[in-house]
């Protein structure tokens, strides 16, 4: 079980010297599934209608690289 590591991809730490820490922008958007209500009346038979997309929060946190 001591296999050699596969060839590393072209990415190496030395290549990202100009921006060592990627910047992430966190934004909260209204859940498109429940439109911010956190509930889905048509799914009230499942977990009391809690939106499975946002877990009932009504908003989704999306992160993207700036």
51 burial level (CB within 10 Å; 0-12, 13-18, 19+): buried
**Footprint of Zn ion on residues 17-46 (CB under 5 A)?**
31, 33-34
Total residues interacting with Zn ion, rule: CB under 5 A: 6
Q: Of 12, 11, 51, whose CA–CA distance to 32 is shortest?
A: 51
Give the residue from 61, 64, 65 showing the smallest Cα distance to 53.
61
User: Which residue, 16 or 44, has its beta carbon nearer to Zn ion?
Assistant: 44
Q: Is 50 in the site for Zn ion (CB under 5 A)?
A: no
Shortest distance, CB of residue 34 to Zn ion, whole angstroms?
3
In the complex, the residues that contact Zn ion under the rule CB under 5 A are 31, 33-34, 51, 53-54
């Amino acid at each position: 079980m001591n296999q050699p590591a596969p060839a590393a991809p072209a990415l190496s730490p030395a290549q990202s010297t100009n921006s060592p820490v990627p910047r992430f922008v966190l934004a909260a958007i209204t859940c498109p599934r429940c439109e911010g209500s956190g509930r889905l009346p048509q799914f009230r038979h499942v977990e009391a209608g809690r939106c499975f997309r946002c877990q009932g929060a009504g908003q989704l946190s999306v992160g993207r690289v700036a």
